[in-house]
Structure formats: C-alpha cells, structure tokens
Amino acid sequence: MTRRLRIAIFVHEFPALSETFVLNQVTGLMDLGHEVTVLAVGPRPESRVHADVERYGLRERVLYPALPVSRLGRIARAAWLFLRHGWRHGRVLLRCLDARRYGRDATSLRLFFWAVRLAGEAPFDVIHCHFGPVGQLAAKLRDAGALAGRLVTVFHGVDVSAYVRDRPDYYRFLFARGELFLPISRIWGQKLVELGCDAGRIRVHRMGIDVRRYPFRPRHYRSERPLRVVTVGRMVEKKGIEYALRALAEVARQGIAVEYDVVGNGPLRGDLERLAGTLGLAPSVRFHGWQEQAAVSALMNEGDVLLAPSVTAADGDQEGIPVTLMEAMATGMLVVSTYHSGIPELVEHERSGLLVPERDVGALAGALVRLTRSPDDWPSMSQAARRRVVADFEISRLNAALVDHFEALLGTSRAPRPVHAGHKLITGGVLLPQVLDKQGRTRTRGRANG
C-alpha cells in the first residue's frame, strides 16, 4: 500500500442483510488499513444485522442525512438548518437547491440535507458508490461543492437494466463527471458503452466472497435418498422461483424424489407457497424465510444442487452475478442456473454447472434429471466450481485489486494489477466489450481502448 486512503462507501441503505457484497468491501478495505466512512440514506428496516457490522464497529462509521419523510417537514427543517449553517456553508447549500441543474434531487431537498450532513467533512480520496443512481447523486453533491474526492461507481444489474429501460440518457450527468466506472460483469460493461459511457474509464470489477468461510465438500450422488435442492434469494420475479417449483414438479412426475429448501423473503412468498401446494409439492418444499449466514451455510453444506433460475423481470430488471452462486460453488454444490445477465461469466456450462434458457421449465427439469443420471460427473463438476470461484471471485484478491484501481486513479501507483474476469484478462487500461450469443457464449464486439 502506497498510503492510507480515506474512502467513502456511498450506498442507498446500510446495513442491509442482502448486500453482503458491500459489507465485504467495507471490512476488506478496513483490513487493508484504509479509513472507511459509509454514506447511506438510512439503515434497511430489518430486525437483524450481519455480525460483521458489530464486529467492526460500523454503526459508528455511517453518516445519514436525517431527511424528514414529509414534504412540509423537510421544508421547515431545511429553513431552520439554513439559518443555522447558512453563514458558513450558504453558497453550497444554495447550489444544492438549483433545480435547473440538479432536477428532482434539488427539489426534493435531498442534496440540501446531504450537504448539511457532510458540512465540515474532510475531503475523501475516493468516493466509491454502489449502484448507478447513488453515483449520480454523489456526482451532483460533488458538483455543488458538498463532497470532495475521486468518483468511482459500481454498476450491478438493476441500475443498467430496468432503471434505464425508459430513460437511456439518465446517467448523462454522471458519465460526464465520474472518473471510473466498475461494472461487475462484461455484459454490463458493454451496456455502459451503449449508454454513452467513455470505454476508457470502464473496468470490469467482480463482486466476491471470502472462500475461507465456505468449506469445500465434493458432491457424490446418493440414489438412496432424495435429491437435495436449495434456492437462496429474495422472492421477487427476477429470481425465477416460480419456474423452479414447476420444474421440480416435473422432476417428481418422472419418479425422482426431491427435497427443496427455499431461503429468503419477499413480496412473492405467499404466491409461491400457494403454487407449491397447487403443484403437490408442499410435503417436499420448505420455505425458511430469511436465515442467518450460518444457517444458509449449513443448508448448502447438506445440499446437492443450488438452483438459481434467474429471469428478466417484466420491468426489465436483471441480476448481476448472484453472490449466492459463488457461495454455493465454493462449497462444491452443483449449480443449475440460466443464461441470464453475467451468470455465464461465473458458471461454465457443463464444466462448473449447467445453464438453461430463461423460463424454460422443461430445460430446468431436464438439467436436474440429467444430474441424477450422470453420477460420475459430480466430483469433477464440484471441484471445477470451487476452482472457478477461488480463481476469479475471491474477495481478498478483489479488494486488493480495487485498491490498485484507486491508487492508479490518484496517481500513487503506475497501474492496477490485471484481474482475471472469466476467460478474458482485463487490465486497468482496456475493456473488451462483449455480448452473449443465444447459447450464452461470449463474443467480442470490437476493442475499446482506454
């Protein structure tokens, strides 16, 4: 490390149980000796938090803007705050109210309250934003003079799919001002180029996991007991759990016994529980709701197959590369998933898992049946899955590479070290934009030089 960096991690909600990728970066950067402050609108309204939040004392490292819910309350409090702070920060506060320049972020008083909260905060070396809309907000705060530091934005999935479907120019302000853009997959890197982002400022940077927390056990098929299938994720449309249930009903009709554990909550849970009953699966399906990481790890350790039938939702929402897939593969679970978003950049079809088209119930069922009929493939597929995660999705290596990106941006090192991303080597200076064909294979679509 060249020097200790002062880093702001800017997110919408913190802590948030489902966003372990944010937590892993925060704690990883702290472990590397950097000073980390988290900026968030508020905590997610959940009754539990991840143990690392307490272990690292992260509640003391979070800044919230204390934005009143009601419009009238915001106006009244903003007037009082301006009287209190205007003599010292009036110029910045007034700029944050410029509706012509900043649009709804100004009229909602969101910029104003953030500016008050950040008043007097020392400049950051790097402002590291998760999700495009957060990067856009940070760009406006910096433009108004309320925030200082090099601006880096991570794009995950929904922010470059559903979010821009009807407003492809939404990120124009951010693209003109951000110094570095970090899509988590090659497919999203190409999408950023299509949206107008300068390819020279794009680097693919994966999310990852601490593989040490996921003991490896090569899987072996045991025909004397049911096939143990697990799905972990929020019960929303893009997770495709409906298609998993329908596929498992087809597997059962072929005389194969299955036990299915579903972990997670969400708006579709009631509908999915009713569907399981209608399909006659109720005795073999367990809906666990949200579970602590230890409980999820135990289910994965006992399970045979991680089923992740992700789909593109009706509003265009798509996945990134689900961390759950990385966790399962690290334990040696077999994986059945779909040719969706960046998933084929993690799961290599017929090597480290099986991939099928989205919403194809017959293909999902066929993949599960195939696994039961090919027991000799289990150990090698299991080992390939573990190797894949260790090679390209190990969080400590990714966090070190992230710091390299920061230092290169700040001019404190020559260039980031290369990081493997799928089969292509992406260095700090070049992104190879790629798209997926109908079989999920990648093909290069021209070179974009940085």
In sequence order, which ranges of 395-448 are alpha helices (DSSP H)? 395-410
Report CA 405 to chain centroid distance, whole Å. 19
3-state secondary structure of 281: coil
CATH number of 6-201: 3.40.50.2000
Residue 126 contacts by C-beta under 8 Å, 6 or more apart in sequence?
Answer: 5, 6, 7, 8, 149, 150, 152, 406, 409, 410
* Cβ proximity of 131 and 161 under 8 Å: no
- Report the C-alpha gap between 63 and 367 in whole angstroms: 47
Would you state the pLDDT for residue 67?
Answer: 93
Tokens at 94, concatenated: 């007034």
DSSP state of 272: H
Tokens at 248, concatenated: 């498992």
Q: Is the dihedral of CA 275, 278, 284, 289 positive or negative?
A: positive
Report CA 53 to chain centroid distance, whole Å. 18
- Report the C-alpha gap between 1 and 34 in whole angstroms: 9
Would you state the pLDDT for residue 293?
Answer: 81
- What are the mean pLDDT values of the chain's consecutive 10-residue runs (450 residues total)? 88 90 95 97 87 94 95 96 93 97 97 96 97 98 98 97 94 98 97 97 96 94 95 96 98 96 96 98 94 89 97 96 96 98 97 98 98 96 98 96 96 54 35 38 34
The arrangement of strands across the sheet holding 258-263 comes to: 285-289, 258-263, 227-232, 305-308, 334-338, 354-356
Would you state the pLDDT for residue 129?
Answer: 98
Would you state the pLDDT for residue 435?
Answer: 37
Going through 233-340 in order, the beta strands assigned E by DSSP cover 258-263, 285-289, 305-308, 334-338
Would you state the pLDDT for residue 343?
Answer: 97
Helical packing angle, 293-302 and 323-331, nearest 10°: 50
Would you state the pLDDT for residue 428?
Answer: 35
Would you state the pLDDT for residue 413?
Answer: 59
Q: Which residues pair with 392 in a beta bridge?
A: none
The CATH architecture annotation of domain 211-391 reads: 3-Layer(aba) Sandwich (3.40)
* Cβ proximity of 156 and 182 under 8 Å: no
Question: Which part of the chain is CATH 3.40.50.2000?
Answer: 6-201, 211-391
Tokens at 114, concatenated: 């953030």
